[in-house]
Chain A
Amino acid sequence: MSALLDVRAVGKAFGGVVANRGISVQVEEGEIVGLIGPNGSGKTTLFNSIVGHHPIDEGEIYFDNGRIDKLGVPEIARLGLLRTFQQTRIYGGMTCVQNMLISAPQQGLGVAAMLAPHTRAEEERAGELLDFVGLYEKRHLIAGDLSFGQQKLLEFSMALMNGPRLLLLDEPTAGINPTLINGLMDRLQRANAEFGITLLVIEHNMRVIMNLAQRIYCLAHGELLAEGAPSEIREDRRVIDAYLGAT
């Protein structure tokens, strides 16, 4: 039984700029894995490669033992591999509830179902998850009018609504009020434990990622620098030199 996500020696260059070179990452089912590294080290490029946003130059990517590096974004999403965006993306002209309802999985819907109303179960699930992230009383507000932090929470709950097996989170705590970060971390852990969603998280906040992740990969200059448990990463000489800095 191989890993849920298996990234094998992936490389990606934009013109002469090599964003990723020979990167291999494995995420086991049920894990929370961190991805850290300085700005421009290729973390988001790796995410984009995994979800099929752009073709990769070399290497292979497997999800649930199926090869996905030739598939497009919607097909990969429908397999149960979702991502959230660094610049939070929600449907700004719609209410929170509507954002949630349209995020329900759409696999195998025929034309008749596409034209049908939402099911009661979907509406209840939307309410539960909005309650889970603490946006229930704002559910009828236009999502674009929410604060940045609330939009991040909404985007996270939209991803949960889709019921993915693996969720890639691109800086979930960036721009969030420090007092709310603990609450968000708690929700990430509960999504992992209660909903059984495997997480791969890009994060710059070291306190968050060291507490959240069971394993961490560190990138620098587009290459994999180190991999290990948070305690090992924190002590790793190369990581300290490249990223953490002497403390």
Chain B
Amino acid sequence: MSAPSTAAMNGHWGRWAGYGAILAAALIVPLVFPAFQTQMAFLWLMIVFALTWDVMGGQMGYNSFGNILFLGVGMYVCAVVQVGLHVDVAAYNASMGASALDLTMGQYLTGLGLGLAAGAVAAVACAVVLGAGVLLLLIAVIVIAVAVGLCNWLGLPPVLGVAAGLGAAVFMALRVPALRAHGLLSLRGHYFAIGTLGLGIAAGEVASGWQFIGAGSGMVTPLYPGELGGREQFFNAAAFVLAVATFFALRRLYAGRFGLAVNAIRDDEQKAEAMGLPTTRYKTVAWSVAAVFMGIAGGLVGNIVGFIDPRDVAFAGATYGVWMVLMAILGGKGTIWGPVLGAAVFHITQELFWTYLLGWQRVALGLLIVLIVVFFPQGLLGWVRARWPERFGHRVDSRAAEEAEG
């Protein structure tokens, strides 16, 4: 009786100590080291990257290399909304943002809020379509094209054609279940990983060829209207709020049906199907959950960096795209604290290497990764869990055992 409750108590205290330390860091660092605010903001964003990657990669066992897509989509959509509320986006980008927007604080915040929301919605739409309905998307595009063509021929406004085409596509989606199951999420294991690998690269190519969003020369985000230094403080706070919201939202989801369903899919997807679990729906929801937070994170990254390069900032598969996987594995995938820990260790060591080992920073980073993989293949937290399973609640209920004996 006493042993489990002591362990639970320790876990309780440990958890609150962890929250306290993070909150203290979030509050103190900006005050004591104002120069590190952007680094801090990126730390919170890295935590979001690792946590959202872990929804699929860790908890569900689907290694996605395509989550960077949601970051880029969120980034561009947010910036387009922020600009488009005030001026013509194409003209703004054609002049490389030289027709600088002179916004009031109210206008800026409204634009940012709407932009972040739109980015999240767009990212979720990408997740659903790519995950569950690539075939459906193709059919919808063809139907809409035909309908618009017909409207032109009949002399009707093309909007009517788009509406009719969309209606027909939705109707088909609802009536023909076979169409719904043809997306990336019907791929399993390594096939899914490879299937998603091209997403970020393809999106980067599309973005760097699309004049409307600045093509290869990128897009400048609107200037923050507040006082000097206020921008860093504002976005550091925004990134912290996003990381906290992501953490608690995921923790709540993992504690319920969703968490168990994605774990079941990870452990044995065929068994889950044999038990009647709607696996495709859970997988689509899981990718959408990752997409929501990645989309919002994208909007923030675009505004923190201030300039959206299609390949190096938005669809940066070689940096953020790889790091999110590394950080989750480093900390221990399939746990809630693992990605947080992994992101913190990764980001801090990376910053230290860049400062003190300049020229050798990537070698040092590579060595660190090798060491972690060799000595902690389950990640830092995975190692802790294997050492002390009872601290994670995996123990024989001795009270029940005694009652059974007695």
Binding site for B on A (CB under 8 A): 51, 72-74, 77-78, 82-83, 85, 89-95, 98, 101-103, 105-107, 109, 111, 113-118, 136-142, 158-159, 162
Contact = CB atoms under 8 A, between A and B. Distances in A.
A188 to B, nearest CB: 19
Contacts, number: 119
A90 B260 CA distance: 13
B358 interface: no
Main secondary structure of the interface of B (DSSP, over half): helix
Contact of A109 (B263, B275, B278): B278
Main secondary structure of the interface of A (DSSP, over half): loop
Given A74-B278, A89-B270, A101-B257, 9 more contacts: A74-B274, A74-B276, A82-B276, A89-B271, A91-B272, A102-B260, A106-B257, A106-B276, A111-B285
Nearest to B399: A137
Nearest to A158: B275
A54 B131 CA distance: 24
A125 B256 CA distance: 16
A74 B280 CA distance: 10
Contact of B257 (A93, A115, A141): A115
Interface string B228-264: 0000000000000000000000001101111011011
A51 B400 CA distance: 37
B275 A103 contact: yes
B261 A74 contact: no
Nearest to B253: A115
B323 interface: no
A91 B256 contact: no
A115 B268 contact: no
Contacts of A158: 275
A118 B275 contact: no
Name the interface size band of chain B. Answer: 35 or more
A84 to B, nearest CB: 9
Contacts of A92: 267-268
Nearest to B258: A115
When A and B form their complex, which 10 residue pairs have the shortest distance between CB atoms, in order from nearest? A77-B276, A91-B267, A117-B256, A102-B260, A137-B400, A137-B401, A78-B276, A89-B271, A137-B397, A73-B273
B278 to A, nearest CB: 6
Contacts of A159: 275
Given A74-B278, A114-B281, A141 B258 contact: no
Contacts of B391: none
26 contacts: A51-B274, A73-B273, A74-B276, A77-B275, A78-B276, A85-B271, A85-B274, A89-B268, A91-B272, A92-B268, A93-B267, A94-B264, A98-B263, A102-B263, A103-B275, A109-B257, A109-B278, A114-B257, A116-B257, A117-B255, A136-B400, A136-B404, A137-B397, A137-B398, A137-B401, A137-B404
B298 to A, nearest CB: 23
A141 B271 CA distance: 20
A158 B271 CA distance: 11
B273 A118 contact: no
Contacts of B182: none
Contacts of A139: 397, 400
A163 to B, nearest CB: 10
